[in-house]
Amino acid sequence: MPQVTIPALAQKRAAGEPIVMVTAYDFPGARAAERAGVDMVLVGDSAAQVVLGYGSTVPVTTDEMLVLARAVRRGTETAFLVCDVPFGSTEVSDAQAVDTAVRFVKEAGADAVKLEGGSEPRLSRIRAIVAAGIPVVAHLGLTPQTATALGGLRAQGRTEATATRLVREARGVQEAGAFCLVIEAVPAEITALLREHLSIPIIGIGAGDADGQVLVAHDLLGITEGRAAKFVKRYASIGDDSAAAIEAYAADVRSGAFPAPEHRYAATDEALAAARVELGV
């Protein structure tokens, strides 16, 4: 498969070919996404919750994200690699945002960075990062990094005020230079309107039909514990399967069924004799 590029993604949008994006946080996750032939891999800051065990995406740091991003880069060949910039790493100034974006490109080999929000300061960050030569994916609708300000993890664009803001911000991020937009937890009708009036590809998560879809890998694989969001479709039960496999291993260890003869190395008679001599037995 050829390398996925920004023009190739725009071409997919123009041709009405859905773009497939999935998150990955480590080498095996990246390999699975690559083997599945996805178009875009996102090192999402959802890593904070699904990999690092934090209660939200807010605490994860740039250094933590970079470790994950580098592992994903090592496993990604053709897919377009997008890295989330974490909360606190772009909020202070445009200069801080450019520094952070540059780190993801230089230290992790990111093809683009993803930034949440579309208020005027966020547009300024997008302009600055794009001016530094780094492609930006915008993220609007439910933006988990600022969920407290949104009144919680709730769908956006369902009221006059939030629909108006969403449309204004969507236009804003496109004008600021974002080449792609992720929208999360938004009514399908609003997504349809945005698709008509924006020219950049729109990747939806809980946003109905869009130019592409993204899901958190741990959600679709059934690794995440507890109730999934309404928009998640589970394709496997890896969490339950993992627990069952480790339980079976534990039972085998406790009963002596593991290791079996085929899992053991054999010593030569000479090696055994030498070991006995050394032990004096």
Instruction: Point out the catalytic residue in the list 34, 116, 169, 184.
Output: 184
Of the pair 44, 172, the CB lying nearest ligand KIV is at 44
- Can you give the binding site for ligand KIV, defined by CB under 6 A? 23, 42, 44-46, 84, 139, 182, 184, 205, 214, 216
Asked if 203 and 220 touch (Cβ cutoff 8 Å), the reply is no
184 is catalytic: yes
Residue nearest to ligand KIV (CB): 44
Q: Report the b/e string of 237-273 with b at 16+ CB within 10 A.
A: ebbeeeeeeeeeeeeeeeeeeeeeeeeeeeeeeeeee
Phi, psi values for residue 159, rounded to 5°: -120, 165
| Enzyme catalytic residues | 184
